[in-house]
Amino acid sequence: MSGMYTVMPLLLLQLAAAQITSSTHPCKDVLSSQTLSEAVDAAIVSLHSQAGWLHNLRQTTGYIHPIEVTTCTPTVSMWPWPSAASTEGLLADVLQTGKLHVAGVKWSKKDAADYITNPSAPTGFWPEYMHAIANSMSSHYGQTITVQRVYYANSDLVSKAVANGTVHMSEPYYYLGGFYDSKPRIEALDVSCVTVATASAFSSAKTLGIKSMDDLYDKVVQGPNRRVGFIGAGNYDAVSHVLPSNVQPVYITDSKVLEEAVNNGTLLASYISESSASESATRFVYETGVISPRVALFRRDDTRHCVHSSAIEEAMVATRTQQEDTGTDMTVVVVILAVVILMLTCLLCLLICKERSGKPLFMTPLKEAGPDGQTVGATNFS
């Protein structure tokens, strides 16, 4: 019987686990970024819906290269803000602490961004864009939300921090294309509405005679120098398809060091993700022909290992109820068996007592001696 008491709860818990993924008990990720990404999208749309907002940001920062590429039509009414009262996951943490942890890399490019000189208070187009998002969220939720920047050595580490929930989101300048954890970025992570897009270019020293993408392609194929400089792996991923397969990408986050490597011939060219083509006295600048949409990266919700608390509670209640019901049924069976055994024991005792007293309850047929001296029954069954 003890085996039944052990097996029944296990069976019930297994049945409850099978029902967790049903609509009755939707499984929630405690680090869900869904409502946070919805809030950021609502903020981006609210900014783009303001007449002249992007134009003014370009003018005040001097960064005139961004191209407006719209994936989220700026109609504010179609992009509702998540309710503060019912929000959960990462947005709940942001609203509780008043801090929005944003991951990025320390890099600097004139007018676009300077995250190196003063990392705690960076300047330029991209830092201002991120602050505008936070300010829009602050205005809607009626509380101050400050940007807390967390810097990593490279973009792969940024993506990893976003993916595992170490930070709330990335800076809003990341390429929509690219990869993370051997998967396309758009499949491994969630992304915001496109913030802007940028046309990219390469820059080469005039002494090398590289004036176009065709020239650069041929130089890389010929070798022996096949090194081309990028500020990060994501930049290379964005244009790798227009370069030869034997190109040797070199990653240098400091733009001054990167440009010096081009000037001294260490690199054939440097990739310019934040510029348009314009020639200088010592450099040829030529467009790649690639337009790259930019986004903020978010953690993709993962419900593979989570369990809904109400489902567990119901499973435990069902287990206790089943144990109680099973206990009641078994008690009834035991009582009935005990009564039957007691009655049979009493009957047996009665038979024994009667037999010993010479008055058995069941009499055997009378016996007598036949003519040949053998004993025969009184009753003839032949």
DSSP state of 50: S
What is the tens place of the pLDDT at every residue in 38-88? 999 999 999 999 999 999 999 999 998 899 988 999 999 999 999 999 899
Single out the residue of 365, 285, 315 nearest to residue 9, CA to CA. 315
Length of the chain in residues, anyone?
A: 382
d(CA 340, CA 236): 86
Are 116 and 106 in contact by the 8 Å Cβ rule? The answer is: yes
Strand, helix or coil at 71? Answer: coil
Phi-psi label, residue 55: left if phi above 0, alpha if psi -120 to 50, beta otherwise: alpha
The DSSP bridge pattern shows strands 169-170 and 99-105 to be parallel
**Of the ranges 15-19, 197-201, 265-269, 313-317, the best mean pLDDT one:** 265-269
Using CA atoms, how far apart are residues 37 and 169, in angstroms rounded to an integer?
Answer: 9
pLDDT of residue 308: 53
- Residue 209 in this model has a pLDDT that exceeds 60: yes
- Quick one: pLDDT at residue 234? 85
Q: What is the pLDDT of residues 343-357, one digit of tens each?
A: 888 777 777 777 777
Mean pLDDT over 209-221 rounds to 96
7 has a pLDDT exceeding 50: no
Using pLDDT thresholds of 50, 70 and 90, give the confidence band for residue 243: very high
* Predicted pLDDT of residue 3: 45
C-beta neighbour count of 329 within 10 angstroms: 10
Q: Are 201 and 287 in contact, with CB atoms under 8 Å apart?
A: yes
| Short-list 4, 12, 3, 2, CA closest to 320 | 12
The pTM score is 0.68
Express each pLDDT in 133-192 by its tens digit: 999 999 999 999 999 999 999 999 999 999 999 999 999 999 998 889 889 999 999 999
Contacts of 122 (CB under 8 A, 6+ apart): 113, 114, 115, 149
